[in-house]
Amino acid sequence: MALVFFFVVVFHLAVLMAALLLANAPAFATADDLSALLAFRARVSDPRGVLRGNWTAAAPYCGWLGVTCGGHRHPLRVTALELPGVQLAGSLAPELGELTFLSTLNLSDAQLSGPIPDGIGNLPRLLSLDLSSNRLSGNLPSSLGNLTVLELLDLDSNNLTGEIPTELHNLQSIMYLELSRNELSGQIPHGMFNGTSQLVFLSLAYNKLTGSIPGAIGFLPNIQVLVLSGNQLSGPIPASLFNMSSLVRMYLGKNNLSGSIPNNESFNLPMLQRVNLNTNHLTGIVPQGFGACKNLQEFILLSNGFTGGIPPWLASMPQLVIVSLGGNDLSGEIPASLGNLTGLTHLDFTRSNLHGKIPPELGQLTQLQWLNLEMNNLTGSIPASIRNMSMISILDISFNSLTGSVPRPIFGPALSELYIEENKLSGDVDFMADLSGCKSLKYLVMNTNYFTGSIPSSIGNLSSLQIFRAFKNQITGNIPDMTNKSNMLFMDLRNNRFTGEIPVSITEMKDLEMIDFSSNELVGTIPANIGKSNLFALGLAYNKLHGPIPDSISNLSRLQTLELSNNQLTSAVPMGLWGLQNIVGLDLAGNALTGSLPEVENLKATTFMNLSSNRFSGNLPASLGLFSTLTYLDLSYNSFSGTIPKSFANLSPLTTLNLSFNRLDGQIPNGGVFSNITLQSLRGNTALCGLPRLGFPHCKNDHPRQGKKSRLLKIVLIPSLLATGIIAICLLFLIKICTSKKMKDLQSTMSLESNNKHRAISYYDLVRATNNFNSDHLLGAGSFGKVFKGNLDDEQIVAIKVLNMDMERATMSFDVECRALRMARHRNLVRILTTCSNLDFKALVLQYMPNGSLDEWLLYSDRHCLGLMQRVNIMLDAALAMAYLHHEHFEVVLHCDLKPSNVLLDADMTACIADFGIARLLLGEDTSIFSRSMPGTIGYMAPEYGSTGKASRKSDVFSYGIMLLEVFTGKTPTDAMFVGELSLREWVNRALPSRLADVVDPGISLYDDTVSSDDAQGESTGSRSCLAQLLDLGLQCTRDLPEDRVTMKDVTAKLQRIKEVLEA
């Protein structure tokens, strides 16, 4: 009985204690919730005072803005904190983890920063957590995995980093998981989806996630939306993802996914409405399984490697609204049956290698808003049925081979962007009058066609027009006046036949940023108020403008490019122009500008300056030598006088310096850019001195003193000169006598021809042939000497290479060139006819090449032009010569300095390799040779030759490959655009194959007489294919590792095949 009584007492005491605790619980909980809210309030600045006027001590916290408390059971417990869109501007308080009854936390778009507190994971009742659109940083807390009843987690658009915690697989109730637009990295945890079977929405887009897509995602039974776009995911798409019966939307674009998509009975996506797999590396045909998705509305496979043509089953998908298959290698024609998809609003087949005509049936797509067919091989005319697309907003049929005129009327009122450039369209531009009804037209791009006629004046009333490009046509008449309400930004009308004056209305266009009216026939003056605009580029070159450069041009503070060359401009350059700090390119060449150049200090950004062929005078400003960015400076053909400032030697980035044909005198500066300067840069300044290697005499440093010493010099000097003259006459008489006796100690001759077919030639024969090596006979100069044109006694015209004996390596160069070619017999090698050599003089008599060097034809497009077939023939000639030297000559000859200036052209434009001054011979079984004494030319040297001096056949192949790329792109490897990691090779490599037109030299299409306008389709397709093969061959020649490069035999064979295709 005592024991029972004891237990009864203990039980009643326990009940009493529990009752006391329950009675006091709300008070404790109330204090915790209030303190948590106050801690949260203390962490935010509340810049707009939203909380400051509401969260006060006078009001119960359950009535505060955004705070919700529980019902009758727990009336004072906070169950929701929702302040979406309120600018709180602060960080999250860890004390929020003490609101243990919280079920909803929504602080989205609140300008919050800092980490997510671990304490958030201590909220056992939390159902919805939305912290999206803030600036939260740090890692995702692993404690979020404790939220086992959480249904919504939205952390979109923050700055969260680190990996996705594996603990998230504990979110058993999660239905909506949004982690997009952060900086999350690492792999998607493969076990993350083992316990999250309730997921309906999953988005991890636009992070930095790597690795493969977990196949377990495909087994989530309720998933409807899957978004993994914009990461770095790789590998194939798991087959399970194409067998999800509930999936409605699939977005996997902009990753590195590869492989093909399953196309078998396991393909089952019956609810699919939208699929976007753009910008991956997916291959194979477009799976027919998508044809069973009868609810499909958006079908986007843009920029992959799909093949096999446009799927015919697309025409049987009635719900389709968007079809984007551009950027694949589909090939084939556009099916006419696509006209059945009358609900389409977007149709994109850009860069798809399509051919044939644009089907007129596409005109049935009356709901179409965007049609993109650019960069294909489409031919024929523009279908007139396009006029039925009354809702079309963007029409892009550019970069094809469309012909004929633009049908009228064709454009609907909704048109905002029209791209018809880079076709073969012709006819009058009167169709532009139909655009007057397109009040929303922003972009009008119609360049590089064959349009004629005058632009209708109504085009000037399109106030919404921002970009107007019509360059490279044959448009005539005046440039239209534009309304002063115009929003025009870019206006490019160069390379047409516009006449009349520049419309003054352009000075009233406040938003105008770029004008290019170059290469027309404009007359009159540059508008005086041109400085009222906001231009950063102004091109008026190659017109017939006269008068001064307006002073107002000095007000164009944003101006970066100014091209006024080859007009008839006069007077001095406005002083304010020299103060434009943002000028990058300045071209005033070919005018009649006068005055002197001031000391210029503000043009710090200038990289290109051409003031040649004007009437400038005075001294050269020394401040030009302080321009650290200048790469091109041409001051030739003016009347500058005085000495060349020593500061010019400091222009280390300079690749081109031309001071020729001025009145400069005195010492040529030493070092720097003058170490490698050529005669072409200085000729025509007869009073210069100090550079004997180019024919400029040594400077006289000792000047006569005044007074008695001057008189003494006269007394001594005059008799001395008379005596010297008499002695000189006697010596000449004796030399003549000695010459008639053929004194062998004064000269030595030899012939390289083994059969002694060419007669020996003397020094005096060469003197007569060149009029005593007169500069009028000078063809060029290099590091080892000069080359003169000579006319021998037998009227044979030759090239005479005279070596500079002051150069310590001249004799070596002479011997190398003789040895390299002494037994060489090939039509594509410049022949050495004979030589003249003694201790003080060495010369090679070479075959004369009347058409000069290849680089002259490439660089001076105003004088020369080369078509596609000519360039192929030249490069084939060069390849044949190198293949002979590498593989057929009895000794392997390495040229070591292959470049366009060493490829010479005879009267029939047959190319010959020349200048073997630094050539090397491989002996026996050798495959390479080391040499650091005679490096090649920067830009053309193979990497291993430039860094280690190791020369081989493959280093010549590299140089040939660079030359091949230069010939067909028109860009030298040292062009100013190639900086940092971007080289000529990398530029071409990035462009191929989809952007071929961006890198091919425009001169090829302009001057190639093999392209017939009568058969535009076949010729264009064949030429484009051949050009792609030529550039690809250049890439094969210039691979980094020598062993990966092709041989010259391979190059020759491939060029032969390309030539045969072009001739077919």
Domains of the chain by range and CATH? 22-254 (3.80.10.10), 544-698 (3.80.10.10), 749-847 (3.30.200.20), 854-1063 (1.10.510.10)
Q: What is the reported pLDDT for 280? A: 95
Contact 788, 761 (CB under 8 A): no
> Residues annotated in the binding site for ATP, as ranges?
801
Please report the pLDDT score of residue 886 as a whole number: 87
Residue type, 840: D
| pLDDT bucket at 4, cuts 50 / 70 / 90 | very low
pLDDT of residue 708: 42
pLDDT (tens digit per residue) in 526-541 = 999 999 888 999 999 9
Q: pLDDT tens-digit profile of 505-524?
A: 888 888 899 999 999 999 99
Q: Give the pLDDT score at 560.
A: 93
The residue behind tokens 């002063």 is: 484
Catalytic residue among 897, 915, 956, 1008: 897
In this predicted structure, what is the pLDDT of residue 731?
Answer: 59
Q: What pairs with residue 847 in β-bridges?
A: 798
Q: What is the pLDDT of residue 932?
A: 42
Residues 17-41 have a mean pLDDT of 61
DSSP string, 220-246: -TT--EEE--SS--EEPPPGGGG--TT
Answer whether residue 214 shows pLDDT above 90.
yes
Q: Choose the weakest-confidence range: 116-125, 310-319, 645-654.
A: 645-654
The dihedral through the CA atoms of 142, 144, 145, 151 has a sign that is negative
Is 90 exceeded by the pLDDT of residue 198? Answer: yes
Q: What is the pLDDT of residue 145?
A: 94
pLDDT digits 0-9 by tens, 322-344: 999 999 999 999 999 999 999 99
Q: Is the pLDDT of residue 278 over 80?
A: yes
Q: Which two structure tokens, joined as six digits, stand for 1021?
A: 């397709």
Q: How many CB atoms lie within 10 A of CB 769?
A: 22
Q: Which pair of structure tokens corresponds to residue 385?
A: 């049925």
What is the Cα–Cα distance from 226 to 252, expressed in whole angstroms? Answer: 8
pLDDT in tens, 745-764: 333 333 333 333 445 788 87
Q: What pLDDT shows up at residue 793?
A: 82
Asked which of 243-252, 386-395, 439-448, 841-850 is least confident by mean pLDDT, the reply is 841-850
Q: Chain-wide mean pLDDT for the chain?
A: 84
The question of whether 1001 is a catalytic residue gets the answer no
| Mean per-residue pLDDT, 363-379 | 95
Looking at per-residue pLDDT, the higher value among 1048 and 18 belongs to: 1048
Q: With bands split at pLDDT 50, 70 and 90, how would you rate the model's confidence at 724?
A: low
pTM above 0.75, yes or no: no
CB of 663 closer than 8 Å to CB of 687: yes
Q: Which amino acid is at 19?
A: A
Residue 944 pLDDT:
80
Q: What are phi and psi of 119, to 5 degrees?
A: -60, -20
Residue 1014 has pLDDT above 90, yes or no: no
| pLDDT, tens only, 694-719 | 888 999 863 444 444 444 444 445 55
Is residue 783 predicted with pLDDT exceeding 80?
no
The confidence score (pLDDT) of residue 1022 equals: 62
Q: What contacts 24+ positions apart, CB below 8 Å, involve 350-353?
A: 350/326, 350/374, 350/375, 350/376, 350/396, 351/326, 351/327, 351/375, 351/376, 351/994, 352/310, 352/325, 352/326, 352/327, 352/328, 352/376, 353/329, 353/377
Confidence of residue 575 (pLDDT cuts 50, 70, 90): very high
DSSP summary character for residue 396: E
Residue 108: per-residue pLDDT: 96
Indicate if the alpha-carbon torsion angle 1006, 1011, 1012, 1013 is positive or negative.
Answer: negative
pLDDT-based confidence at 484, cuts 50/70/90?
Answer: low
What is the percentage of the chain residues whose pLDDT exceeds 70? 84
Instruction: Tell me what the mean pLDDT of segment 606-625 comes to.
Output: 93
Q: For residues 777 and 128, give the distance between their C-alpha atoms in angstroms, rounded to a whole number.
A: 89
In 10 A of CB 388, how many CB atoms?
18
Query: Where residue 821 falls among pLDDT bands split at 50, 70, 90?
Result: low
- Tens digits of residue pLDDT in 48-96: 999 988 898 888 999 999 999 987 788 889 999 999 999 999 999 999 9
762/747 Cα distance (integer angstroms): 7
Q: What DSSP element (H or E) covers 129?
A: strand 128-130
Please, are residues 325 and 304 in contact by the beta-carbon 8 Å criterion?
no
Percent of the chain with pLDDT over 90: 56
Give the model's pLDDT for residue 706. 42
Residue 389 to residue 529: CA distance in whole angstroms:
43
Give the tens place of pLDDT for each residue, 296-324. 999 999 999 999 999 999 999 989 999 99
How high is the pLDDT of residue 759? Answer: 58
pLDDT for position 195: 86
pLDDT tens sequence across 914-951: 876 545 554 444 454 544 444 568 888 888 877 667 77
Examine the pLDDT at 722 and tell me if it is beyond 90.
no
- 976-983: average pLDDT: 82
How far is the CA of 673 from the CAs of 239, 605, 609, 977, in angstroms? Answer: 63, 20, 16, 20
In DSSP terms, which residues pair with 112 in a beta bridge?
90
Query: For 844-869, how does the pLDDT look when each residue is reduced to its tens digit (9 = 90+)?
Result: 888 888 888 898 888 754 435 788 89
More confident site: 28 or 810: 810
- Predicted pLDDT of residue 482: 80
Question: Annotated binding site, which residues?
Answer: 801
C-alpha closest to that of 884 among 1019, 1052, 718: 1052
According to the model, what pLDDT value does residue 25 have? 37
Structure-token match 């968007």, residue found: 322
pLDDT band at 739 (very low <50, low <70, confident <90, very high): very low
pLDDT score, position 11: 33
**Residue 443 is inside which H or E element, if any?**
strand 443-445
Least confident of 403-412, 660-669, 675-684, 944-953: 944-953
> How far apart, in whole angstroms, are the C-alpha atoms of residue 502 and residue 52?
62
Distance CA 8, CA 480 (A): 107
Q: Say if residue 426's pLDDT is above 80.
A: yes
Q: Specify the residue for token string 């989806």.
A: 193
